[in-house]
Amino acid sequence: MTIYNHFGSKDELVRDVIKSLLRRMLARYRDLIREEGPFLEKLKAIVFDKSEVVGQFQGELTRTALSQDLGIRQFVESIWQGEVNQLLIELFEDGRRQGYINPDLSQEAILAYYEIFLQGIYNSPKIQARMAQSPKLVRELISTFTYGLNGGNRKGFDHD
């Protein structure tokens, strides 16, 4: 009863929990992106984070709330348009400086590629399960994300 007195309803409690999870994830990734270190390690930690927070965030309760609760969707969109987008740009600029990202690619193309990659993983429980069982698969996906299917060999891919 005390919980309901504080939050008002079950829906408000769920909203508050999801917002808290998102804020913690954002703080974790902000620290990770801004610390010194190899780009590939940062990317691996962000894309394939196996922490409890991400596990909870990918749960059915959260997916349902995100798809059905306009307030949660607006909160997520405001965070994404605000700080998350800027942090991703910082991450990929770091990758560019370290020589992992083609300097000719626009930020827009890089962010779209990242979103496509993440959506493919997060929307497939089968892929998530296979990744959890295979560290080799995780390394190969990071390599494919970073270097493409040709492994960084640009021979035959020049175009102007």
Angle at 109 between CA 106 and CA 115, to 5 degrees: 140
Q: Predicted confidence band at 107 (pLDDT cuts at 50, 70, 90)?
A: very high
**Is 62 among the domain residues?**
yes
List the domain range (segments joined by +) for residue 137.
2-147
Residue 137 lies in a domain: yes
Do the domain assignments include residue 157? Answer: no
Q: Is residue 113 part of a domain?
A: yes
Tell me the CATH number at 74. 1.10.357.10
Mean pLDDT of 131-149: 82
pLDDT in tens, 2-29: 666 666 677 777 778 778 888 888 898 8
pLDDT tens for 59-69 read 555 555 566 77
Domain-embedded: residue 61: yes
Per-residue buried b or exposed e for 6-21, using 16+ beta carbons within 10 Å of the residue's own CB: eeeeeeeebbeebeeb
User: Phi then psi for 98, rounded to 5 degrees?
Assistant: -85, 0
Residue 156 maps to a domain = no
Cα dihedral: 153, 132, 36, 116 (round 10): 60
Residue 160 included in any domain: no
Backbone angles phi, psi at 116, to 5 degrees: -60, -45
pLDDT at 160: 44
- The answer to whether residue 154 sits within a structural domain is no
Domain tally, the chain: 1
Tell me the average pLDDT of the chain: 78
Angle between the 39-47 and 107-122 helix axes, to the nearest 10 degrees? 40
Res. 156: pLDDT tops 60: no
Model confidence at 79: pLDDT above 70: yes
DSSP conformation class of 152:
T
Question: What integer pLDDT is reported at residue 32 of this predicted model?
Answer: 94
